[in-house]
């Protein structure tokens, strides 16, 4: 398996771990220990403690970006593109995603923390675009 594939697998794993550690812990803890009905969690309104809402949003951010990275890795794999630049960019995507999620979940979102989180997101966008350019040049 190539480095981009490993990083895609890591991204998917992180998405699931984040779900389990935030949304899962909060909901199952309330269901099992507070007698909250399992159907009481609504997706159409904000609810729960601040860290839970941040965890829900951080997980949604992962879900939104996972298919983008997946499409890029798919094209890179189909075209047989390999090399240090592709590998390094893929590794940076996963590191920046994990850092973005951790900043999102672990801190109240002041302007400073939002700026840090957004910086990690921008790093991912730059890596995505660089990988797309590499694929486009190689595929042309």
| pLDDT tens by residue, 52-69 | 889 999 999 999 999 999
Average the pLDDT over 67-94 and give the result.
97
C-alpha dist (Å) from residue 110 to 104, 107, 117, 122, 129: 10, 8, 11, 18, 28
Give me the pLDDT at residue 90, please: 98
pLDDT in tens, 23-53: 888 888 888 888 788 777 777 777 788 888 8
Domain ranges of the chain: 3-139
Which class is 3-139 in CATH? mainly alpha
Task: Output the pTM of the full model.
Answer: 0.90
Average the pLDDT over 97-112 and give the result.
95
pLDDT band at 121 (very low <50, low <70, confident <90, very high): very high
Cα of first residue to Cα of last residue in the chain, in angstroms, is 25
């Amino acid at each position: 398996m190539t480095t981009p594939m490993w990083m895609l697998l890591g991204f998917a794993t992180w998405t699931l771990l984040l779900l389990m550690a935030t949304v899962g812990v909060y909901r199952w803890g309330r269901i099992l220990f507070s007698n909250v009905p399992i159907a009481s969690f609504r997706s159409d309104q904000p609810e729960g403690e601040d860290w839970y809402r941040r965890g829900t949003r951080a997980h949604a951010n992962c879900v939104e970006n996972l298919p983008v990275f997946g499409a890029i890795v798919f094209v890179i794999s189909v075209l047989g593109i390999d090399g240090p630049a592709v590998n390094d960019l893929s590794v940076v995507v996963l590191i920046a995603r994990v850092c973005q999620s951790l900043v999102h979940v672990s801190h109240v979102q002041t302007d400073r923390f939002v700026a840090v989180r957004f910086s990690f997101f921008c790093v991912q966008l730059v890596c995505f675009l660089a990988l797309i350019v590499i694929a486009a040049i190689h595929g042309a």
